[in-house]
Structure 1
Amino acid sequence: MKHAVNYLFFIENMFSEYYTIGRYPVQGEFMVMAYEALNNDLTINDELINKLQVMVSTTEMVQSYFFIWDDLADNSTERGGKPCWHLLDDTGFIAFSDACIMRSFINEIIRQNFNGEMCANILSVYDKVYFVSSVGQYMEVEISRSRNYDNYNMELLTMLNNLKSSFYSIKSPLLLALALSNKLNKASYDVVDDVGLEIGALIQYHNDLLDFYNEKGAINVCKSSTDIQEGKFTWVATAFLENCNSEQRRIFLENFGSADPEKVKRIIEVYDEVDITKLYKQEQQKCFDAFNKKVSKLPKNSIPSPEFFKSFQNLIRYYSQDTKNFMYDKN
């Protein structure tokens, strides 16, 4: 039995590293930044360094876990400049099992390095990441599959992305920092949950924009994009539908959701006609305005503090600027 467990951990290390190693650790960076802001008088020792390393590693492994599922669902062929995990020899749909094992492996690493309430709180955050992200992914698939483009509106998209993206990309690193600092409670949770909503959604909007640029051939995000071909419910499609004229909408309905290269090209053309980049910049500003309004209403003794959120905004702004920086697929 012992040899079987050791072999399992060896195999797990192989596919947990496949997407994780070599990628810029964005969520890990957010978590460490928040932890430092929450603990002014840090005593750096081996125990703290180990805990931070464990948190950064597992946070990034959670992203890799979702990459396996996302690439399977999207029939993607490439990520990070190499074949998707499910396309490797003798993998295929076994990737589903690999992802399930990986999730358990992440939890086991947490249990081996933390205990008591801190361990329970960290696992609770991860469990919610798995749950809400899966619900968001399911909603996206069902809405996209319905081909009812009347549902492609910003209100529904914001609700979906609060589940699919906001909690994982923005809220969970901050909640994990609070858990590691023994400051996670209902009050601090509610602050993060409220303030992180709009900028969390913005991260997904930015990711959708990058997929559009990638489809145009303007950039290479190291991930094959199929948003147009699959008729996916994305910010780009939604922004277009809310800003197009009747003729542009007719072209959209005739061509969206097809793998025909000519139809994909036609969709890209009408997207450019409404100036998707300009619309994104307007959306970005709206998200930051809503974020700043919420931060301005926080009491000075809020945890996290208003000062932290203001500095955090600079980091988010850096990652969400057009195509200059990549949130998830940076080499």
Structure 2
Amino acid sequence: MTKIARPDFDATLASLSQTLVDYFLGMGFPADAVEMYRKCLLVNTQGGKLHRCWTVLDTAQALKGDALAAEQTRDLMILGWLVEIQNAGYLIWDDIMDGSETRRGKPCWYRREEIGLMSINDGCLLTSTVFIVLKLCFKDHPAYHDLVEVFRETALQIELGQSYDLLTASSHYGGLSQFTREKYEFIIARKTAYYTSYTPMSLPLVYLQLATPMNLKEVYKVALSLGQYYQVRNDYLDVYGDPEQTGKAGTDIQENKLTWVILEALDRCDNNQRLTLEEFYGSQDDQEVAKVLAIFDELNLRDAFKQWSDDKIASTRDMIEKIDESEGLSKDIFNVFLAKLDGDAMRKVGVTAN
């Protein structure tokens, strides 16, 4: 098995970015605009742990081991970067819609003085990049059309989740009385679980032509559980994480977001505490936000998260043990993913989840 390290991924992105620069120059796109595109691509794909990128390759290696050829390894790293690039485009838009200040410890792309709302089109270019690369690199692959469909479906799922996330956060929606677990699960299944775990684990199956209906169903089942863990941890870190370590100041309270934290608080609070939450959740005033945080502390949500996360990890492990491997699937692909989420460094409050 070829041993891959972070520099190999970096080299793949550098090569990919040059290929794209040449492609756009060949279209007659002006050189200064192409350089701005290159900057957008590189800046918005850096600073994270490349969790999704690694998952594509880790999944393939768990499936094929030493049988994975060097050319396949290169292709899978490219597919991993396409997941990251698609994600980068949506994060640009997400930060604009949420009014976020920072992303991965740096100003959001749209917050840069020289960028502003040009960033909307930059997000479009990044998402289009995915399909340009698929055509350039995989057009002759027998699974080309299926690879395209994976990314198209991923885009739709993210957009559905984002749409409902924004709707439920709207001040016109009806307030905390409209927040339910069912609505939350719809959002995270599409906005988080699909592209964070299902897409990077299903892509290698498609590429290696192991994507049988049963295998994809099994992957989706576990990916949904893994994605739930991932999002709930993000919700928790938004409130209790250290921005110096997470790279992003938490704003879910101010944005009136439907999250695990507020749902847990609503389940645990008494009438007086609920009145405080209903009055101040969604406020932009620091003192009023502090009152919400005080209620969270009174309700011991730190302990609640610890218990929930332990239970979720245990139930996910049980789910993995029951996976049907008869059509070429391997439980190892889920165990590798889970290990990255469940490691001490990842579970420590304050560690970035992106």
2:44 to 19, 24, 40: 19
Report the identity percentage.
Answer: 22
2:311 to 246, 269, 286: 286
Q: How many residues align?
A: 325
AA matched with 1:170: S
User: Where do 1:49-88 residues align within 5 Å?
Assistant: 49-88=73-112
1:188 to 215, 220, 223: 215
1:218 is displaced (CA, Å) by 7.2
1:90 is displaced (CA, Å) by 3.8
Identify which range, 152-161 or 284-293, moves more after superposition.
284-293
- 2:175 is equivalent to residue 148 of structure 1: yes
Inter-partner Cα distance in structure 1 for 2:324 and 2:215: 12
1:286 is displaced (CA, Å) by 3.2
2:351 to 318, 325, 328: 325
- 2:287 is equivalent to residue 262 of structure 1: yes
User: Where do 1:160-309 residues align within 5 Å?
Assistant: 160-214=187-241, 220-309=245-334
1:66-110 CA-partner distances (Å, limit 9, x unpaired): 210111011011112221111222422221111111111121012
| SS at 2:323 equivalent | coil
1:134 is displaced (CA, Å) by 0.9
Identify which range, 24-33 or 296-305, moves more after superposition.
296-305
Identify which range, 228-237 or 90-99, moves more after superposition.
90-99
* Residues 303, 276 of structure 1: alpha-carbon distance in 2 compared, 3 angstrom cutoff: farther
- 2:128 is equivalent to residue 104 of structure 1: yes
1:255 is displaced (CA, Å) by 1.1
1:280 is displaced (CA, Å) by 1.2
1:302 is displaced (CA, Å) by 4.8
Higher relative contact order (CA 8 A, sep 6+): 1
* Residues 182, 6 of structure 1: alpha-carbon distance in 2 compared, 3 angstrom cutoff: farther
Unaligned runs of 5+ residues in structure 2 are 1-24
CA contact (8 A) 1:188 1:304 kept: yes
Inter-partner Cα distance in structure 1 for 2:337 and 2:48: 21
1:200 is displaced (CA, Å) by 0.8
1:210 is displaced (CA, Å) by 1.1
Aligned residue in 1 for 2:157: 132
CA contact (8 A) 1:26 1:327 kept: no
CA RMSD in angstroms, aligned pairs only: 2.1
AA matched with 2:291: R
AA matched with 1:326: T
CA contact (8 A) 2:56 2:77 kept: no
1:295 is displaced (CA, Å) by 2.5
| SS at 2:66 equivalent | coil
1:9 is displaced (CA, Å) by 4.5
Inter-partner Cα distance in structure 1 for 2:210 and 2:332: 17
1:322 is displaced (CA, Å) by 4.2
CA contact (8 A) 2:80 2:200 kept: no
1:42-70 CA-partner distances (Å, limit 9, x unpaired): 2543x234313312221211221121011
Aligned residue in 1 for 2:341: 316
CA contact (8 A) 2:240 2:350 kept: no
* Residues 95, 195 of structure 1: alpha-carbon distance in 2 compared, 3 angstrom cutoff: same
AA matched with 1:62: Q
Inter-partner Cα distance in structure 1 for 2:119 and 2:333: 39
AA matched with 1:64: A
Inter-partner Cα distance in structure 2 for 1:58 and 1:252: 41
Inter-partner Cα distance in structure 2 for 1:48 and 1:6: 34
1:131 is displaced (CA, Å) by 0.6
Inter-partner Cα distance in structure 2 for 1:60 and 1:140: 21
